């Protein structure tokens, strides 16, 4: 008969072996580390994966970083990384201008291999309202932005430019990724525009500062002609600042979130955000109004829709107090429950696998390093997993040299490998004192 001491020893060995197996099976690798030159810097959008295993993405390009540092030297880029990790520059935006500046929302790819994306600034518009950024940090300095196309032969073109009318009536400053339907129509949102109340220049000339009632949801047909499906501006009740990407159901309904707005205050700083639905005719319905310390606030990531009609997403604020963040589930009856607390800050949306597990990233938490000081606490960010019951597992903690501050959602291939980007970390040089960002892979 085994002694109790021997049994305990065997159990400890088995537990250690199990832990080693789980750890060794999870492998992190950097596929590419940006240099801040022609290849770009600060990839803040999600990647797109094709059937051959090629990855496509964008870098935001030159942008400010704490301690008076600047990351990158150009206005952004579009790139491809093949399954062997070889990097190809598809387009560099140079110093910006009529071809756009700062592509922030990633790409979509159609069946013909054409890539579409949006730049938050630049573009062909000469509307003075598109050049008022010096009056508020949210506005672009040099244009209203655009949607661009790179065809299968690598040819770049401006597919649609924002905004040809006064006060950005048709929208400007598209930060979010685009959504593509089976007919080749593109859907997206602009962070501001759509209402005269969004004219920050007008508000500042009056000598005071107000939260704007703004943003649009738009549709572009296959020829690039725009239809504005919804203008946010109903005294903020229908939402304010739509930023994350839209999701499309089988009936043609669009779902999204607004960072602010709604009917519930967020500590006196405007509304706490909304979840909205827009039907094919362009009618908007607010499905949920967030409320600070009750249901959370600032839903800044994209949404996931399951087959039962449940909607999953993340908030920067969570019920229970300041400094808490979380994931939520909204059922088809409009009832929201807290799916999982997330101690760190998720700015990206979730993705889901075939078993109902969710994956996401946080911009803080994880390991600490001198170059990871975006929030003053030098935390580099994490990758996490939520099981179908909402139990959280941290898959990886960034350390700076391997990447830092992952803003974007992840993408998963058929083998269960995860791919993503970090906005900073990686190679540190004169172009990027805090690192230029990386493309990474996690093998299960």
Q: What is the pLDDT of residue 319?
A: 55
Q: What's the pTM?
A: 0.88
Of 39-48, 253-262, 312-321, 363-372, where does mean pLDDT reach its minimum?
312-321
Query: Does 333 have pLDDT greater than 50?
Result: yes
Lowest mean pLDDT among 191-195, 200-204, 232-236, 390-394: 200-204
Return the sign of the alpha-carbon dihedral for residues 55, 57, 62, 65: negative
Tokens of 200: 């920050």
Residue corresponding to tokens 């700076």: 400
Q: Rounded to an integer, what distance in angstroms lies between the CA atom of residue 230 and that of residue 214?
A: 10
Write out the E strands in 233-318: 240-242, 247-248, 254-260, 274-278, 284-289, 304-305, 311-315
The predicted-structure confidence for 297-309, as pLDDT tens digits, reads as follows 788 888 999 988 9
Taking 70 as the threshold, does the pLDDT of residue 249 lie above it?
yes
Q: How confident is the model at residue 22 (pLDDT cuts 50, 70, 90)?
A: very low
β-pair type (156-161, 146-150): antiparallel
pLDDT digits (tens, 9 = 90+) for 361-401: 998 888 888 888 655 568 899 999 999 999 999 999 999 99
d(CA 404, CA 410): 15
Rounded distance, CA 362 to CA 346, Å? 4
Q: With 60 as the cut, is the pLDDT of residue 107 above it?
A: yes
pLDDT at position 43 is 95
- 265: Cα separation from own chain's centroid: 24
CATH architecture of 25-443: 6 Propeller (2.120)
Asked whether the predicted pLDDT for residue 15 surpasses 70, the reply is no
- Residue 268's pLDDT band (boundaries 50, 70, 90)? low
Evaluate if residue 202 carries a pLDDT over 70.
Answer: no
DSSP 162: S
Contacts of 156 (CB under 8 A, 6+ apart): 78, 91, 99, 148, 149, 150
Percent of the chain with pLDDT over 90: 51
Cβ contact 346:360 at 8 Å: yes
Predicted pLDDT at 266: 65
| 72 φ, ψ (degrees, to nearest 5) | 90, 160
**pLDDT in the model for residue 209:** 42
Instruction: Determine the Cα–Cα distance for residues 175 and 290; give it in Å rounded to an integer.
Output: 22
Site of tokens 């540190």: 428
CA distance 193 to 317: 26
Task: Check whether 41 has a pLDDT greater than 90.
Answer: yes
| CB 170, CB 216: distance < 8 Å | yes
**Burial degree of 30 (CB within 10 A; 0-12, 13-18, 19+):** middle
The three-state secondary structure class of 112 is coil
Report, as an integer, the average pLDDT of 316-342.
78
User: 400 or 197: which carries more pLDDT confidence?
Assistant: 400
Question: Quick one: what percent of the chain has pLDDT higher than 70?
Answer: 81
Q: Which residue has the higher pLDDT, 171 or 321?
A: 171
């Amino acid at each position: 008969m085994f002694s109790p001491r021997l049994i305990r020893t065997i159990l400890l060995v088995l537990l250690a072996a199990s832990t080693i197996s789980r750890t060794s099976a999870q492998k992190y690798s950097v596929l590419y580390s940006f240099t801040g030159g022609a290849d770009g810097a600060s990839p803040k959008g999600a990647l797109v994966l094709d059937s051959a295993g090629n990855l496509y993405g964008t870098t935001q390009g030159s942008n400010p970083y704490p301690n008076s540092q600047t990351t990158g030297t150009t206005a952004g880029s579009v790139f491809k990384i093949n399954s062997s990790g070889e990097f190809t520059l598809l387009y560099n935006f140079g110093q910006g201008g009529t071809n756009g500046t700062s592509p922030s929302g990633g790409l979509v790819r159609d069946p013909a291999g054409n890539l579409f994306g949006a730049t938050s600034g630049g573009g062909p518009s000469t509307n003075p309202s598109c050049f008022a950024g010096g009056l508020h940090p949210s506005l672009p300095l040099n244009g209203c932005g655009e949607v661009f196309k790179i065809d299968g032969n690598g040819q770049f073109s401006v597919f649609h430019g924002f905004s040809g009318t006064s006060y950005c009536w048709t929208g400007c400053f598209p930060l979010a990724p685009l959504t593509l339907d089976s007919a080749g129509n593109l859907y997206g949102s602009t962070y501001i525009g759509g209402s005269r109340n969004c004219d920050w220049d007008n508000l500042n000339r009056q000598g005071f500062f107000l939260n704007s009632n703004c943003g649009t949801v738009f549709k572009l047909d296959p020829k690039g002609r725009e239809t504005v499906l919804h203008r946010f501006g109903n005294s903020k009740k229908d939402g304010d600042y739509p930023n994350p990407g839209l999701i499309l159901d089988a009936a043609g309904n669009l779902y999204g979130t607004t960072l602010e707005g709604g009917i519930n205050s967020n500590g006196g700083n405007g509304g706490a955000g909304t979840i909205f639905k827009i039907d094919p005719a362009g009618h908007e319905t607010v499905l949920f109004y967030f409320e600070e310390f009750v249901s959370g606030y600032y839903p800044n990531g994209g949404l996931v829709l399951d087959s039962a009609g449940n909607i999953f997403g993340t908030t920067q604020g969570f019920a229970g107090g300041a400094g808490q963040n979380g994931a939520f589930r909204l059922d088809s009856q409009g009832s929201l429950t807290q799916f999982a607390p997330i101690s760190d800050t998720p700015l990206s949306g979730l993705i889901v696998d075939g078993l109902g597990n969710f994956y996401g990233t946080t911009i803080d938490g994880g390991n600490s390093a001198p170059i990871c000081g975006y929030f003053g606490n030098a935390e580099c960010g994490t990758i996490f997993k939520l099981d179908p019951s909402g139990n959280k597992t941290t898959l990886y903690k960034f350390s700076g040299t391997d990447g830092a501050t992952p803003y974007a959602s992840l993408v998963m291939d058929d083998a269960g490998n995860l791919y993503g980007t970090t906005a900073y970390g990686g190679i540190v040089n004169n172009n990027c004192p805090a690192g230029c960002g990386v493309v990474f892979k996690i093998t299960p």
